[in-house]
């Protein structure tokens, strides 16, 4: 919305009258003495508005087809283009300085006017989130994008969006919408801005092991010594399942015992087997103790 002229002169009013015409000069006839234009302007981000201005000569005439130079204190917010439109960029404030130019093209620093421009974001009417996968596996990750929109559904840039997870034990989300699936369950991820919220819901499933490997494949120990069996479970996508719930059981604890981490302790001479399993999958690791 354009504000009224605060620096308007009587000659400018006469120039716009249907019944009167203000005296006119060229820059070569009379040097510019003042600029009449709005001193403040409010725009929405991404819009533009023509700037009406007049350059007044020293004798009071309006100069025909005047040339002015402009400089913005914050070009990202607002600038005056070559066709004298004020172009609004991002939200914020900028001070555009208009400087008159003489017949030789030299700027006249003493003939200036400053235009204060305020750029605001368009009003928000909601937030749209891109659709996530309906189901993911624990350990998967993906990106969500939240887009604030105006009343017509057009995207708006510039609003800060906050992300939150309804249950971080199932899935977490960072400040830019990157989601990491943690554990089994159903979870909602919410985006919010300016009092508006939107969420998406998806299911996280545990990874199912389809193969299991144990190393070393066999172990020879001396009574009183220890060794560790490492188990690796892999899912259907050939991805290692981190922190897989693998169990370890000794067939004969009199010869060797094993704890939940796969640490084997030789107890007495002989041979036994450590059974390593996850779900219905199991492998055996022979143990010989001397």
Q: Please tell me the distance from the alpha carbon of residue 77 to that of residue 177, in angstroms, as a whole number.
A: 27
In tens, the pLDDT along 198-223 reads 999 999 998 899 999 999 988 999 99
Question: 81 — alpha (psi -120 to 50), left (phi > 0) or beta?
Answer: beta
In tens, the pLDDT along 171-180 reads 999 999 999 9
| CA–centroid distance for 4 within its chain | 38
Q: How confident is the model at residue 103 (pLDDT cuts 50, 70, 90)?
A: confident
The confidence score (pLDDT) of residue 192 equals 97
What's the pTM? Answer: 0.59
Q: Please tell me the distance from the alpha carbon of residue 197 to that of residue 190, in angstroms, as a whole number.
A: 7
The confidence score (pLDDT) of residue 64 equals 84
Q: Please tell me the distance from the alpha carbon of residue 176 to that of residue 145, in angstroms, as a whole number.
A: 8
Is residue 89 scored above 60 in pLDDT? yes
Q: How confident is the model at residue 147 (pLDDT cuts 50, 70, 90)?
A: very high
The confidence score (pLDDT) of residue 21 equals 35
Q: What token pair was written down for 96?
A: 């555009």
Q: Give yes or no for a contact between 230 and 262, defined as CB atoms under 8 angstroms apart.
A: yes
Q: How confident is the model at residue 27 (pLDDT cuts 50, 70, 90)?
A: low
């Amino acid at each position: 919305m354009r504000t009224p002229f605060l620096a308007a002169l009587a000659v400018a009013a006469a120039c716009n009258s249907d019944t009167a015409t203000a005296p006119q000069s060229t820059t070569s006839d009379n040097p510019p003495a003042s600029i009449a234009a709005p001193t403040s302007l409010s725009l929405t981000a991404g819009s533009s508005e023509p700037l009406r201005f007049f350059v007044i000569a020293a004798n009071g005439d309006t100069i025909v087809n005047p040339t002015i130079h402009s400089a913005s204190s914050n070009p990202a917010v607002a600038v005056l283009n070559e066709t004298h439109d004020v172009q609004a960029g991002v939200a914020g404030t900028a001070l555009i300085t208009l400087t008159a130019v003489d017949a030789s093209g030299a700027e006249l620093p003493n003939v200036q006017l400053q235009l204060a421009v305020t750029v605001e974001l368009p009003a928000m009417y909601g937030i749209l989130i891109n659709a996530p996968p309906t189901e993911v596996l624990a350990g998967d990750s993906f990106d969500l994008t939240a887009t604030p929109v105006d009343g017509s559904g057009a995207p708006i840039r510039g609003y800060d969006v906050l992300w939150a997870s309804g249950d971080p034990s199932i899935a977490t989300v960072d400040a830019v919408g990157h989601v990491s699936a943690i554990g089994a369950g159903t979870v909602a991820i919410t985006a919010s801005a300016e009092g508006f919220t939107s969420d998406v819901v998806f299911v996280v499933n545990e990874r199912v092991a389809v193969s299991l490997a144990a190393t070393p494949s066999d172990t020879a120990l001396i009574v009183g010594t220890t060794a560790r069996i490492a188990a690796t479970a892999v899912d259907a996508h050939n991805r290692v399942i981190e922190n897989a719930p693998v169990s370890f059981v000794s067939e004969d604890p009199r010869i060797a015992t094993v704890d939940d981490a796969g640490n084997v302790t030789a107890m007495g001479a002989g041979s036994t087997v450590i059974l390593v399993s996850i779900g219905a999958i199991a492998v055996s690791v022979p143990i010989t103790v001397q």
